[in-house]
Amino acid sequence: MKPALLRFSLGLLPLWLLALAVMAQTATPAPKTYTYLIYHKLAPGMTIQDALPVEREWRVLNQAAVDEGNLLGWHMLVKQFTSNPNPSEYDYVTCIVSAEMAIKGASPAARSRIYGDSVQFKMADLQRRDRLTAPVVKMEIWENSEALLGAGFDPAKTPMLVVNFIKPRDPVADPTAVLTLLKRQGAERIQAGQLAEWGFSTLKVPNGSEKGYQYAQTQCAASMAALVDNGPLSPEAVKVRTQQLKAFDVVRQDVFRIQEFTVHPKNRVQATR
């Protein structure tokens, strides 16, 4: 039987995101984390409102896993805009963030606290409703190599997330120098209050040339207006943009709204002080 947060028979699953390595930068390099992006397509006649009760139940289970230290976080991302030529490929994404390339769900004791004596029955019913409402159409595992979080990062207040799926224009070139520039620019925009989060991830599984992209750059903000930098560009910003265009091709861009999410226990304690 799968762990208490997988939607399908697999053996692992944490994530990006998108995703969204939920770790602030420190003086020493932060340990890598892994994001599992799980893409869902609503069944005919279903809407996001139909999916919410199912995902909120998964959120409770995943919150228990986060509280126990088994996961770093979970998010439900509802697609707002996409450059995908097949816009109906999927409707929303759930993300699981883990400290390792494996998923550890809520413990049996935690599941019993949630479901009482009906764990097996209620878990089976949740998985059945999940499949009927919004089946999984694909999954990806990303390694989060960079994650900058601003003091104002709060999914409830900064819910807009843009993800650039990118590939290097020269597959054998070293992207380190350009990535350093992008990271510095992301930190400056966070300092200026334009962004709440900036991240960079590498696709690990499945990774084939037919996918068209190898990396993902994420930016989170309070609104679409904050995500789009329309002001006059400084000479340094022009340099960064030029270097980025030379080094990377944006294969696809998706814009999401963070709909549901777990809260790290440390953040929950701080919020009550």
Q: What pLDDT does 36 receive? A: 97
> Is it the case that residue 233 has pLDDT exceeding 70?
no
Q: What pLDDT does 26 receive? A: 38
Cis peptide before 29, with omega less than 30 degrees from 0?
Answer: no
Higher pLDDT, 234 or 41: 41
CB burial class (10 A; 0-12, 13-18, 19+) of residue 187? Answer: middle
The domains of the chain are located at: 147-258
Task: Assess if CATH 3.30.300.180 describes domain 147-258.
Answer: no
The per-residue pLDDT for range 148-185, each reduced to its tens digit, is 999 888 999 999 999 999 999 998 888 888 889 899 98
The per-residue pLDDT for range 87-126, each reduced to its tens digit, is 889 999 999 999 999 889 999 999 999 999 999 999 999 9
pTM: 0.84
